[in-house]
Structure 1
């Protein structure tokens, strides 16, 4: 019961942090609060939705599972009880994996902006193009699911998990634009 509460609070904190990162890093030219809440820009709202869902899926995968496969414990010889050690180890790994997922979203956004034949910022901010917002939102959610797939498995080793995330990220970078080209 305590673990559910603890990881629930940690997940909410990480989601708020990812919202801030998405607002300030990924979409630095778009002011989420001004455009969505004050300006009622639905296309930017779709992007906020997509980035929040993608981040949520990554966070859920990052905080789930058992880290017993990783020979990893900073607190092994600290005298802490084993459940406390597991909680702290799980928290650190969850934050690490969540950070890796957030970096993947940032890198994907940079690549996505290069492959689309239009300016995403102009379409979202000035033209309020809902189709563009939904398309990008869907791409973010798809990548979030792909990254979560790699993170959701119980880790065998840190190297294996990082390699799996890297492979799935590359797969997402290839498959998502190809599917977009086929469906357009």
Structure 2
């Protein structure tokens, strides 16, 4: 009986958390399918790392950004949307980590499902995001990461090692301290 009660409570908590995120997301540009992660951290040993797919796209400032141009450098890829409450919550930590790590680590955002590019630009300006952000309104670039990033789990952050392989992943909000540790492990 106790197991049933705990299971029921867990299911209700999960449904409540996801549905409130979904309702918030849906109220912003009809973003159905938003599921906020729980901050689950995965770190992969060198032998277990899989190659990140090629990512090329136009940034919010109109420049072309390509992942393979950054081989030899650790890359932090953060998937976000301006409509996503956890993305707003984690933005200051990402900005602080990017500033602390400096040019030795390439940060890049993958802005997904923002149908209005002005909203994405406003987010970047509001939080003082200092790194490039690839604009992916229809989620096509995000789908290249299938198996490494769930298209519905926003935000998600990948740490990609110097050889282009995924060294770590956070599904949900990432903190500065977690990110600094993951980058150190990937180096």
Same structural fold, with TM-score higher than 0.5 when normalized by the shorter chain: no
TM-score, normalised to structure 1, is: 0.33
Greater percentage in strand: 2
TM-score, structure 2 as length reference = 0.33
